[in-house]
Structure 1
Amino acid sequence: MSKATIGLTATHRRYVPYSHAHYAGNLVDGAYVLGLFGDVATEVCIQADGDEGLFASYSDVQFLQPLRAGDVVEVTATISRVGNRSREIEFSASVICRGRPDVSESAAEVLPQPLVITRAKGTVVVPVG
């Protein structure tokens, strides 16, 4: 029996290693965040339907700020619509800690406010249950 309800949320946090930097300034590509959205969507599907589900599509993706190696990023998925087999999910990614290579190689700081870097909307499909 499905427990899918509007507002069901899952949150993951991840340190972004320097090995993921692809561009000058230690920038990390946007696909990294989309991969994290897939992971957190999987947890939402498991909580809601007892199944990993399948990601069907994104209807909107907005890259608002850069993600850098050395950051700690928090991604959240929240069910915003429940269909028979589909779940629309709203995603948000925020940097909560940022590396400070300008201070030293291993310096970092907790940001006073999370910095929203990416927002998206997507649809997942789960088996009929």
Structure 2
Amino acid sequence: MPAQSRAEVGRRVVHRRYVPYSHAHYAGNLVDGAYSLGLFGDVATEMCILTDGDEGLFASYSDVQFKQPVRAGDVLEITCEITRVGTRSRTMDFTVQVVARGAATDQAPGAADMLDEPLVATTATGVVVVP
């Protein structure tokens, strides 16, 4: 039997991830929106392991919003915060922010810049369930 849950409102998990060029699917090195949803699954899994000792299962997403493009060469910061704790369910708010953006040109193929202000690219609310 698992230990008592440590889930509490306000608990956060943060990941950073470089977006490889192999994930670009569209002109301008754009990455599809499903990429952000996959990252949300990663931070939610860590949150469930941290709080409940189990990977958990996603039950639903709501209010998914794609606000800025994600491009290959970006460095993303993905956050997950618990906003509600039920007996077996956890409601979480998710955000993907672009913290660095590739600035490659023919003269400087690996160039990139840290952004002064991160760009909020994707937001969502999700519900996970744990045993």
What's the TM-score once normalised by structure 1's chain length? 0.96
Identity rate, percent: 66
Tell me, yes or no, if structure 1 residue 112 matches structure 2 residue 123: no
The 5-angstrom pairing of residues 1-129 of structure 1 reads 1-102=4-105, 104-127=108-131
Between the aligned partners of 1:123 and 1:104, the Cα distance in structure 2 is 43
Between the aligned partners of 1:59 and 1:72, the Cα distance in structure 2 is 25
Alignment: residue pair count: 127
- For structure 2, the residue ranges without an aligned partner over 5 or more in a row are none
Cα deviation 1:89-115 (Å, max 9, x = unaligned): 000000000000246210000000111
Cα deviation 1:40-97 (Å, max 9, x = unaligned): 0001111111111001100110000000000000100000000010000000000000
What's the TM-score once normalised by structure 2's chain length? 0.95
Letter in 1 for 2:112: A
Between the aligned partners of 2:122 and 2:10, the Cα distance in structure 1 is 19
Coordinate RMSD, CA, aligned: 0.8
- For structure 1, the residue ranges without an aligned partner over 5 or more in a row are none
Letter in 2 for 1:117: A
